A and B are shown apart, each in its own frame.
Chain A
Amino acid sequence: MMFTTKNVGAIHRSGEDHARAVCSSSSAPASIERRVPLTEASAIPERIEAIDRGRSVAGERIRAAVTWLFLAVVTVLVVTPMAAIVFGAFRTRSPGDPRATFSLQSIEAVYLGLFNGGWTQSATLHTVLLAIPVTISATALGLFLAWAVTRTNMPGKRWFEFGFLLSLLYSPLVGVIGWTVLADPAAGLLNGLWSALTGASDPLFNIYSYGGIAWVMIFFFAPYAFLLNVGGFRSLDVTLEEVAAVSGANLFKRMMLITLPVMMAGIAAAALFIFTLALEQFAIPGFLGTHVQFDTLAYAIFLRTNAYPSDLPGAAAAGTLLLILSSIGLFAYRRLTRHSERFVAVTARGYKPGVTELGAGRYVLFGVCLLIFIVGIAAPLIAVALRALLPVRTMTFDPGSLTLDNFRVLFSAADMLLGLRNTFYLAFGAATACSVIGLVVAFQITRRKSLAKSILDYMIALPIGVPGTVFGVGMLWAYVRTPLYLTLGILLLAFVIRYLVYSVRSIGGALMQIDKALEESAAVAGATPFKSFMFVNLPLLRPVLASAWLLVFLIVMREISSSIILYGAHTVTLPILTWNYLNDGSYGVASALAITQIGIVGVVFIVLTRFFGADLRARAAE
């Protein structure tokens, strides 16, 4: 987190106390330095607390009631879509259809289909074949970049750090469009360049393939692994590595035997995050895979909700299957991180910047990182920007043909303004709601523990493991007969339920870092709890609040997995418009839209990081 060293010190101190408490059963004397004389002074806070307690017994009850109320609301909201999806899987027809009855037909089609060549067989196989290698490759790539940027003397580290975070600003569709422009077998720029150079008639790349889909996904997800591990590498106690070096381990052995195992909790969390994203990702395999009949579960679910007549029971049943796959991921994560205490350096103090001095190797590393940046981020981005300025698909590039026509078409479309407005409402609304509710919940959870709070904590985290497509189908089943259906409200609700956990976790993490003595000294100085919150906690939390807000804003701005299931004619969003343009073959307009969206997000990103101290890297790997 990005607090001052003072707070970090506080953490270390409390960590140390904790370590002592844990060890008090061993032979060491539990606490020698802490012989605090029992003077008048040390009794004062207790007395104040006693007065406080006397005054606020009623307040305490109200607070407990509020917690339970919160828990009830959150539970209903979180459980409803999940329950609805199971319910839906056992129905024969769409919700609201009077002819609908209970039956196993959809469940059978989905699960027996796995073995007898049903529609789920190839989709499930493809989903797994894609998700596992993509998760492993993207995590490894992100880790490598995080290491290069934080722990070596590679030139241009800061620029790379900024550069790799760029891709958080855009939707997966940018990768889709960019790579279509670059590597379409018939009209890709790279293929054009290749045949011009060699005279070969066969294309060099074909993005419409398993490899192509995996490629785009790996580069789209790698920045998450980068983001989630940069902090881990930075805060790793380097003496753990140094002592391994002195003990005779070379750089490779240190990495494999010490650094990566110690960071396993963070790495596994990043991998799980990416695995879930890969499962729910329908845009990349959906668009690039249709040409070659490469279907995935998420895309197949989308098709079932989108086709006419729609097959919502089938979508729900397939949703349960996808849910099982993501649960397997969660289970693997839990196995890997069973012993959390073994992944943190419990006594580490006095962190030093641990930079591995690479001799000439640093230039090699620079070259590798530059290549990754160009291939993974710059090339597709430039291709999209280029395509936005070109009227037609072309294999050659002629500066004279650049035009703003695509933007003109885009901004004269009625949908565009609607989509812009909707997306803005949703992103601002969800980010603000998540931050405010997140602040309240984080306060509840981090302070005195109770059963209700533990359950609340668990409930909020539940949607993490639910792929967006599945969540969308669940929301659809749950709310299709309510007035909420086909409004922005259902989208907002879906986003808040799905992303509340991010703000709760980052704000909660920061709250735990704030030394309780800061509040207590404010209380002793005469501040009411409200005032001490306003003057002590809020200013300290500001950068975290800004980060949490920005994170949810960024995610919602590009969200497509849930919204594609839930949107209606009046609730289109920018990513959905992009998707629709793309599927209509309007690549130029889709590109112009993608660029416009990057522009909007970029401005918000700069404002929040510049003026509000937001820092996405600060988000702990949860």
Chain B
Amino acid sequence: MASISIANLRKSFGRVEVVKGVNLRINSGEFVTLLGASGSGKTTTLRMLAGLERADSGTISVNGSVLNGEGNFVPAHKRGMGMVFQSYAIWPHRTVYQNVAFPLRMKRVRPAEERAKVERILELVELPVAKFGDRYASQLSGGQQQRVSLARALVADPQVVLYDEPLSNLDARLRESMRTLLRTIHKETRLTALYVTHDQLEAMVMADRVCVMDQGIIVQEGAPRDLYDRPANQFVAEFIGQANIFDLSDVSREKGAVRLSNGISLNIPPGNWPNGEATRDRKLVIRHHHACVLTNDAPAGADNLLPGRIKDSIYLGDRIRTTLTLAGALEFVAEGIDGPSTSDIGKDVIVAVPPQFCIVV
């Protein structure tokens, strides 16, 4: 078990600064994901933690001892971590057993103990050694290769486990079963883990805490629910879940209201305002499924009603997505388990957005 502390970490490749001052603390036994688009610097941050890249500045320490920074650099092979790569990275010239035993060999573990550990960990990833031990990578499916890779990362009781998009090469169904397996293993072992992904669903399923990265910095971190319900900015709002984002022409915190560019005013409850005073460039965020399309008249006294015309309606099986045109040519998307059908296209309707779901960022 180990706690990780990353302070003001920076890294450039040539002229491009990829990581621009990342600060991150991971408590012992915590599972943290770094979520971001490609080029956000998340993988580079992970690789610096692994010791595969050297930081330009800043420090990385595990359990208080500095691995990188303050003139110190501990190379990857001395960090005692485990890592799972997107490409699986199974050594093609070694059997499954030899792949998994490798970290133990490097630690000069006694043969009997090695055998026991490899067997136990292969059992855990559901590749019993009797059946799979002597196979080569070319005789395994992608999902099985990734299980071998996972076993290899975990076998030597690493202080920290690092995951670099481990599921993104797998197809949808395999991805889900691997996700469940990973979750179970981590619930059991409580290993400290950092998990890099661009898939928001994966991040939310796996993590105790999600850190959203954009352009080399962590823009927001928190429990999955906090990020979804209270995104700190437009990027997070759009990256996690789907949302309507509107520019605001008038923002008045005292009155508890904002005005859209088409002149319509909406009420915002006190809890839904961002920290900080700046009122310029604020945006309004409304999740697609938080809006309701009313084909009948609006109930009396309801707040935040937006008149619009149905432009399109798409049946998605578990829900219906309605695209509407509001006054001032604004576009609005609403989703619900029920909603208008294609025969309603062109009708004038009202969209109701309960104030508690209107978030200013």
Report A's interface with B, CB cutoff 8 A: 16, 19-20, 22-23, 26-29, 32-33, 237, 239-240, 242-250, 253, 257-258, 261-262, 264, 339, 341-350, 357
Contacts and interface: CB of A to CB of B under 8 A. Distances in A.
A26 B106 contact: no
Interface in B74-122: 75-83, 85-93, 102-103, 106-107
B52 interface: yes
A347 B142 contact: yes
A545 B138 CA distance: 32
B102 A33 contact: no
B224 interface: no
Interface in B34-85: 50-52, 54, 75-83, 85
22 contacts: A19-B138, A22-B138, A26-B144, A28-B143, A29-B173, A29-B174, A242-B50, A244-B77, A244-B91, A245-B52, A245-B75, A246-B50, A246-B77, A247-B82, A247-B103, A248-B78, A262-B93, A342-B136, A344-B92, A345-B87, A345-B89, A350-B87
Contacts of B107: 248
B52 A346 contact: no
Contacts of A341: 92, 136, 138
Main secondary structure of the interface of B (DSSP, over half): mixed
Q: Interface range on chain B: under 10, 10 to 19, 20 to 34, or 35 or more?
A: 35 or more
Contacts of A261: 91, 93
B139 interface: yes
B87 A26 contact: no
B92 A345 contact: yes
B54 A248 contact: no
Interface of B: 50-52, 54, 75-83, 85-93, 102-103, 106-107, 136-145, 149, 152-153, 156, 162, 169, 171-174
Contacts of B102: 244, 247, 249, 257
A236 B92 CA distance: 12
B299 to A, nearest CB: 44
Contacts of A247: 77, 82, 102-103, 106, 152, 156
A28 B149 CA distance: 16
A349 B152 CA distance: 19
B85 A242 contact: yes
Given A245-B77, A347-B88, 12 more contacts: A242-B52, A243-B83, A243-B85, A244-B91, A246-B153, A247-B82, A248-B77, A248-B156, A343-B93, A345-B87, A346-B138, A349-B86
A253 B144 CA distance: 26
A344 B76 CA distance: 24
B76 A242 contact: yes
Given A245-B76, A248-B156, A26 B138 contact: no
Contacts of A28: 141-144, 174
B54 A357 contact: yes
Task: From B82, B89, B145, name the one whose CB has the most chain A CB atoms within 10 angstroms.
Answer: B89
Nearest to A351: B87
B143 A237 contact: no
B108 to A, nearest CB: 10
A23 B145 CA distance: 11
A346 B79 contact: no
Contacts of A344: 92
Contacts of A357: 54
Contacts of B162: 246
A32 B172 CA distance: 8
A207 to B, nearest CB: 41
Nearest to B88: A347
Contacts of B141: 19-20, 23, 26-28
B172 A33 contact: yes
